[in-house]
Amino acid sequence: MFFLISSNNGKIYKLSSGIFTVGRSNSCSIVINDTCVSRQHARISIIIKKKKNYIFIKDLGSTNGTLINTSMIKSTKRLKIGDRIQFGNEENFIMATSDSIAIQRQEEESSYIKRINFSLYD
């Protein structure tokens, strides 16, 4: 199972094997209500084969483009866990797995506990 996590509003989209469209249109798998995002903005394809997983993204000729880790994509690109995806001018997402989400939460909790401990000694 994969997740596309919005860094803008925290919304999490669960993605399994298949093809998912991203855009403003209600017919898309992932609907983003932002005028900077095209009606049919991009396509994410997830292929799961035994122990190998392949995640691809393709911009569908959107007006404002799709960026992966701040680089505009011109053709189909393979995604990795942790990649930052931007649709249009502002919508930012992170590609994740359940394992990477658990690790991130654990790091956030650890950081929070350290901040509490430091403030106790100030």
- Mean per-residue pLDDT pooled into runs of 10, the chain (122 residues): 86 91 96 94 93 93 95 95 88 78 46 45 46
Residue 9: what pLDDT? 83
- CA pseudo-torsion sign 81, 63, 23, 10: positive
Closest by CA position to 35, among listed 18, 23, 17: 23
Residue 98: what pLDDT? 66
Alpha carbon distances (Å) from 75 to 3, 60, 117: 22, 9, 48
Which pair of tokens denotes residue 60?
């569908």
Closest by CA position to 84, among listed 63, 100, 99: 100
Pairing of strands 30-31, 18-23: parallel
DSSP-derived secondary structure letter, 75 = S
Residue 84: what pLDDT? 94
Residue 38: what pLDDT? 96
Residue environment code for 63-75, b if the CB has 16+ CB neighbours within 10 A, otherwise e:
ebbbbbeeeeeee
Residue 117: what pLDDT? 45
Q: What is the reported pTM? A: 0.78
